[in-house]
Amino acid sequence: MATPNAPLVMKGGPAAGRLLAKVDAMSGTQVEACYQCGKCSGGCPLAFAMDYQPRQIMRLVQLGLEDEALASSTIWVCATCFTCTARCPRDIDIAGVMDALRVLATRRGLRPGDRNIGAFHRAFLDSVRRFGRGYELGLMLLYKLRTLRLTEDMGLGLKMLAKGKLALLPETAKGRAEVEAIFREAAEGAREAAEGARKAAEDSPETAEGAAAGPGRSKGAAGGDVR
């Protein structure tokens, strides 16, 4: 009987191997161990809003179809609730894979197709960076200002304030300096990664062509499908 960490799928060539190595390293898990049982998709509370189901994203990564995976709205719709990770019989950190794909997409300059998703992500990170933790009221105010959806959810927000579910003033975390250092280190890492990708593209025309290829033109693997 196979052990939980034993790969069960055929890797789809050099392109798939490179993508798998990157995602595995960034997420600390083994995407190649996924055998497409679909428990992640069946339990995902946001699957209805995704263009690819979580199991299909895993398959895209297995096949080395990087362009399709990074252009998917799924990686941005994912709320990182970890339901998929908890349900996975292969102990794959699927939520961590989604996070890794978001990082890779950001490094390539890709943004969510829905600008409101990107606005929410930026508002949340700005809140954590400033206060060292989430500040719900400030997060929503910043999100509403950036998207100009000023009156939506106003009734719900007032009810939550009345019941004490939202704090009027932010609570600053004790480790705020450490959190700020994490953001600085992440920004520096992103700059170095972008510079490395730029130099690689300059050194290799084939790499540059692959990076420029849009969805549906992946240089990825032979064989397999994402159904």
Question: What amino acid occupies position 72?
Answer: S
Global pTM reads 0.67
On whether the CB atoms of residues 32 and 78 are closer than 8 A, the answer is: no
On whether the CB atoms of residues 20 and 8 are closer than 8 A, the answer is: no
On whether the CB atoms of residues 176 and 141 are closer than 8 A, the answer is: no
Q: What angle do CA 179, 180, 186 make, to 5 degrees?
A: 90
Q: Please report, in tens digits, the pLDDT of each residue of the chain (227 residues total).
A: 334 444 434 445 676 688 899 999 999 999 999 999 999 999 999 999 999 999 999 999 999 999 999 999 999 999 999 999 999 999 999 999 999 999 899 888 888 877 788 888 888 888 888 888 888 888 888 888 888 888 888 888 888 888 888 888 888 788 888 988 988 888 887 778 777 767 777 776 554 444 444 444 344 443 455 55
List of E strands, 96-197: none
**All structural domains of the chain:** 1-113 (1.10.1060.10), 115-177 (no CATH)
| Angle in degrees, 0-180, between the axes of helices 94-107 and 176-203, rounded to the nearest 10 | 60
Distance, in Å, from the CA atom of 15 to the CA atom of 200, rounded to the nearest integer, reads 15
Distance, in Å, from the CA atom of 96 to the CA atom of 168, rounded to the nearest integer, reads 32
